[in-house]
Amino acid sequence: FRRQGAESDLVLRSLFGPDWRRHAMLVFTHADHLEKAGLQPLAFLTQSSDWLSSLAEEVGGGVSFLDNSCDWPSIRGRSIRDQLLRLSAKNHHKALQFRSDQSL
């Protein structure tokens, strides 16, 4: 992680604890804009900043891309609901404690 990634990681650790990545997934909206720019979603990740591509590899729930060009956004790959259920099962349905008393 570079500075931006380190700052994000610090905030997320303070809110959700050190294991937050195991319980997280990335959802990118407006994947239709990527296609208009001539990029495939996975190519976007490989061309993105180091901290973003590293984060995409580290989150336990994987990465989803939503196409917002229609009334009901289409999802590439497994549905987000299915991904969340698999992520929850992989983490033995344990919840993270949210620390709301932290000042950001």
> Which one is predicted more confidently, 18 or 78?
18
pLDDT, tens digit, 9 for 90 and up, residues 43-54: 888 888 888 888
Number of H helices, E strands in the chain: 5, 3
CATH 3.40.50.300 fits 15-91, yes or no: yes
On average, the pLDDT of the chain sits at 82
Distance of alpha carbon 6 from alpha carbon 66, whole angstroms: 26
Spans of all domains in the chain: 15-91
